[in-house]
Amino acid sequence: MNILDKIVIDKRKEVHLRKGIIPIRQLEHSVLFDRPTYSLAKNLRDSNSGIIAEHKRRSPSKSVINQNLNVQDIASGYENAGVCGMSVLTDTKYFGGALDDLLLARASCSIPLLRKEFIIDTYQILEAKAYGADVVLLIAAILTRAEIKEFSEFAKHINLDVLLEVHNEEELHKSIMPSLDMLGVNNRNLKTFEVNLETSKTLSKLIPDDFVKVSESGISSIEAIKELQPYGYKGFLIGENFMKTDNPGRSATEFIKTLEG
């Protein structure tokens, strides 16, 4: 069993428990549920840098990345840096995140927020909306085509952008449908955790131009982005690179200045 399988088993238990504690009705009546959302897809299309910066305390592959900073400072720092959006990891057991991180980020910035989570139920999409997210991540590796369709259409119905993540050609073919805004290629092999940018290059030719192309994982340098831009990528998810510094906002500012300079 690989790490993804373990995460999904735990996630099913967790979502079952959460549903028993907070009913759907309560989520739909939350203060943030009816707020107008920001479009990450639009921001990426209009941007020269395309940076989506992440808030990530730890990960299964790297253990602790940064436990010392508060989400509010990071969110306002990223916004000042001019990022296109912010990815907020809400998984607790494996990544040290929380839904409250989303609330705190939302209170501190006016940029699109992506709930980065292992979504296996529409309940989590309602949670994302209720806690201030603008975008949800769907992971093709853990969903059937029918689930991708159901979840993406549901997200669009409540005005959320959808970023769908694939790792290989097979996942890409089962996933392409009109209810997606962005197609993300994860360069990390989830079985070995090895990273290879060639994955993004190879799959780029197979992604229709209607979707905003996003490259994820292993992007830590300006060179990597410049290498991928000719393949049509408009978005670049940067996880650990900024978070492993004392001031992620400042790191993002310097990175974007150099990239656009």
- Strand pairing of 63-64 and 58-59? antiparallel
The one catalytic residue in 59, 186, 187, 215 is 186
Catalytic residue status for 117:
no
Integer Cα distance of 241 and 23 in angstroms: 37
Give the side-chain half-sphere CA count within 13 A for 148.
24
The one catalytic residue in 217, 234, 240, 241 is 217
Query: Any idea which residue has 């999409």 for tokens?
Result: 125
Going by the DSSP 8-state scheme, the letter that residue 202 receives in this structure is H
The one catalytic residue in 11, 43, 49, 54 is 54
Task: Tokens for 138, please give them.
Answer: 């769907």
Bridge partners of 85, per DSSP, are 52
The one catalytic residue in 165, 213, 241, 251 is 165
In sequence order, which residues have a C-beta less than 8 Å from that of residue 14 and are 6 or more positions away? Answer: 93
The one catalytic residue in 56, 129, 213, 234 is 56
Catalytic residue status for 196:
no
Task: Tokens for 203, please give them.
Answer: 């799959």
Catalytic residue status for 56:
yes
The one catalytic residue in 116, 129, 213, 234 is 116
Catalytic residue status for 170:
no
The one catalytic residue in 117, 127, 171, 216 is 216
- Strand pairing of 233-238 and 212-216? parallel
Catalytic residue status for 169:
no
Catalytic residue status for 14:
no
**Exposure letters 73-90 (e unless 16+ CB within 10 A, then b):** ebbbbbbebbbbbbbbbb
Residues designated as active site? 54, 56, 116, 165, 186, 216-217
